[in-house]
Structure 1
Amino acid sequence: MTRANAPAPQKAHRIALLFNANKVYDREIIAGVGQYLLSTRVGWNLFLEEDFRCRLGGIERFDGDGIIADFDDPAVCEALADCPLPVVAVGSSFEDPSHYPGNVPYIATDNVKLVSLAYTHLIGAGLRHFALYSLPLANEHRWAYQRELAFARLREADGRTREQIDAEIYRGLSTSAPTWNQAIEQLTQWLHALPKPVGIIAVTDARARQLLQACLIAGIPVPEDVAIIGIDNDPLTRTLTRIPLSSVIQGTEEMGRTAAHLLHQMLHGARFPGRTILVPPVGINVLDSTKHQPLASPYVARARHFIRQYACQGIRTEQVADYVGVSRSSLEEHFRRELGCTVHQEILRQKLDAAKALLVKRDVSSADVAVRCGFKSVQYLHAVFRRELGCTPREFQARADAREPV
């Protein structure tokens, strides 16, 4: 093809992304938009605030071609009410269809399926009591209330009365430095009042982290007495908790790709007023916080709670027994009856699991893994891997790489 016959380059549309990308939910939607651009020949110039906040001042003067926005924020809905540009909205699903905006296409995370997936997982873990940790009622928390409604419908189907459901749902206080101690104290009181063992769904990973902290402060074993599952699968939250948190993985990247696809069509004349697309969750990242194992001995439950928190700090059997408040020999007997292993073997298993999780990330050396997981030397780490897994840490890493999907 000669230069004269070459197709003219497509116009690079100017698109604003109105999200608070300090939240993992918003970041992953933006990532989905980026994936759509990479997988197509679409050329967009994207506007996103440098500090990832969503500032609406002057948005009416945005000299662009289209907008993808988070409609969970009431201020965004109001600012774009009369926007002449093509707009695709992203946000929460609603039980009442009249709550969806009627003038723009709307891509929604399916709250009913999010909560149902978490609930089914807790049932599968052998639990019979359930609760939900939500957020205070507010316009900006409408999505959390929708998750409350989804939980209430599931509990009603299981024969719970409205009064019982109200006791199972706790909203607590908003997170702030001045109210933090009060919030944890009230949350702890609610936790103590719940029947045990109980599975709790938190409406976000951030709320799940608060639950974990309250349990650790109060000495409530997780997951033996309280199994916790969040929503978002936020990697930052996982680094801030001693007990790895199970979490529902939202279909946020698919939401971003779908939003970008619709806007792409709208930029070429298509219109989808009032169209709503519900995006289901991807699945669950199952970690220690919901690996519930019914135990007859409260001593074993309390000991495992301590081991999960401190195994990688080099604790010994005597320290575990002191925490539980029984003699070493008595604790060992309880472990043999309940788990068929010694306290030391349980500590080693926790350290080994932590080491495997680090090695899968592929950005740490064996020496770093040994230090961070409480092994006294790299040689001892290698010896444990050979004895327990039949391979070296590097061989385990290679096997993990081979299983990684292409």
Structure 2
Amino acid sequence: MAANTNGETPRRTEFFNKDSRQIAVLIETDTSVGCSVIRGIANYAKQVGDWHLLIDPRDHEHRSALPDGWNGDGIIAGISSRLQFKQVNARNTPLVNVDDRFEDLPGMASVVTDENALAELALSHLLDRGFRHFGYFAPPSTQYSKKRGQAFITAVQQAGHKCNEYRPGYRAGRKISWGEQQRRVTRWLRSLEQPVAVLAVDSLHARQLSEICHATGIRVPDDIAILAGDTNELFCEVSTPPLSSVIVASEKIGHDAAELLDRMMGGESPPDEVIRVKPRGITSRQSTDLLAIDDPAIVDALWFIRKHAHRGIVVGDILREVPISRRYLEIQFQKYLGRSPGREIRRVQLERGKELLGRQELSITEIATACGFANSTRFGVAFKKYTLKTPYRYREELLAGQKIAPVSI
């Protein structure tokens, strides 16, 4: 330990406990994503048993900062600026970053959301609802990176479509009044070819977009469908209408970051590549609950599938409900969805299965039945063919970093 200017060896402060490792968690607690990452870190800390977490320390100006007297063993941080990285890195303490704004700084280990996987998941959700016009909404800001928008725009273009990005013409940091912001966003929305599906960078901005639509008479989801790029349950549920959202695997990011930090504190070098964690799925709510298809019979058929797939229906059940020929049904499904009615039934069943596997209290047998399968064996075979993973493996990865309650088979 270095001596101070008086030649005396400074004493460690109350932050130090020789019986436990001291871990600083520089992640904001005023966002749901941040709290979820911290929960994943805490879950790992409980597994190892000898970690003490210093969570979200602030300086006298309420900025994220390590206390002067802190002399710990490791740091997990959401690095938001090069200055912050320089200050934290100067501690010569193992560091893992969990924010993608500066994920690629040399020598820094990072565990972040896989934005390419998020973009593909979001686009698939919107394409399955028949949308062929897309937008991306992220007002200029230093609070998030541009990677989410870049990934989504690229995914849309690779699928053969165009994505209209919101570009208001001012730089990040400029203060814009609510009225001016509403006027700029409204102009952008009215310039889009409707119906259009818009991915918002996060739940906060998805809710802002929904509020502007409500104030200006733009119908959601009839004119504009809105998908939030992450999940804040409060923002998504109290919005009118409730917002669909991407389920970012925040707890797993926290857990994996803590696990990596543990290895680095044991002497392992930081990985050469950024570790990217795929989102868990989509929570579908009313803001994307629309089928943007101009054939009423096919819309009726799709609604029937979504309502009854869990009952184990077959194509014949659709034809008894919708008075069209099987040949016409097959042709139109291929035209709008690129798959047969039978494959669409199975897709809806298995997407429900993926969602239910996140509920720890349900057994695999209960999930199979709830999805319309005769037994867990048939469900398992179909699920592995669809996801390339068994239901057990998928659940294990889905719940990684969370407290897992015992479940029966």
The interval holding the TM-score normalised by the smaller chain is: 0.5 to 0.7
Aligned to 1:135: 139
Aligned to 1:30: 38
Query: Which amino acid counterpart does residue 108 of structure 2 have in structure 1?
Result: V
CA contact (8 A) 1:129 1:195 kept: yes
Q: Distance in 2 between matches of 1:238 and 1:36?
A: 28
Aligned to 2:53: 46
Aligned to 1:151: 152
Aligned to 1:225: 223
Which of residues 100, 106, 112 in structure 2 aligns to 1:108?
A: 112
Q: Distance in 1 between matches of 2:194 and 2:173?
A: 26
Q: Which moved more, 1:242-251 or 1:271-280?
A: 271-280
Q: Distance in 1 between matches of 2:150 and 2:294?
A: 34
CA contact (8 A) 2:136 2:149 kept: yes
Unaligned runs of 5+ in 1: 1-8, 298-359, 361-403
Q: How far off is 1:83 after superposition?
A: 2.5
How many residues end up aligned between the 2 structures?
A: 280
Query: Which amino acid counterpart does residue 91 of structure 1 have in structure 2?
Result: D
**Are positions 1:82 and 2:90 aligned together?**
yes
Which of residues 282, 285, 295 in structure 1 aligns to 2:283?
A: 285
Aligned to 1:198: 196
Q: How far off is 1:203 after superposition?
A: 0.7
Query: Which amino acid counterpart does residue 86 of structure 1 have in structure 2?
Result: P
**Are positions 1:117 and 2:124 aligned together?**
no
**Are positions 1:55 and 2:72 aligned together?**
no
Q: Distance in 1 between matches of 2:62 and 2:276?
A: 24
Q: Distance in 2 between matches of 1:169 and 1:193?
A: 11
**Are positions 1:170 and 2:166 aligned together?**
yes
After TM superposition, the structure 1 = structure 2 runs for residues 5-404 of structure 1, keeping only pairs within 5 Å, are 11-38=19-46, 40-49=47-56, 55-57=63-65, 59=67, 61-92=69-100, 100-136=104-140, 138=142, 140-141=143-144, 143=145, 145-159=146-160, 165=163, 168-172=164-168, 179-294=177-292
Q: Distance in 1 between matches of 2:133 and 2:201?
A: 17
Higher helix residue share: 1
Q: Percent identity?
A: 30
1:102 partner SS: coil
1:80 partner SS: helix
With structure 2 as the length reference, what TM-score do the two structures score? 0.62
CA contact (8 A) 1:132 1:200 kept: yes
Q: Distance in 1 between matches of 2:110 and 2:293?
A: 47
Query: Which amino acid counterpart does residue 149 of structure 2 have in structure 1?
Result: E
Aligned alpha-carbon RMSD (Å): 3.1
Query: Which amino acid counterpart does residue 148 of structure 2 have in structure 1?
Result: R
For 1:231-264, what per-residue CA distance to the aligned partner results, in whole angstroms no more than 9, with x for missing partners?
Answer: 2210121244121100001111101001111112
Find runs of 4+ consecutive structure 1 residues off by over 4 angstroms. Answer: 50-54, 56-61, 171-178, 294-297
CA contact (8 A) 1:93 1:108 kept: no
1:112 partner SS: helix
Change (3 A) 1:122 1:85: same
Q: Distance in 1 between matches of 2:149 and 2:291?
A: 27
Q: Distance in 2 between matches of 1:27 and 1:290?
A: 26
CA contact (8 A) 2:222 2:290 kept: yes
For 1:204-231, what per-residue CA distance to the aligned partner results, in whole angstroms no more than 9, with x for missing partners?
Answer: 1111001100111111111111110002
With structure 1 as the length reference, what TM-score do the two structures score? 0.62
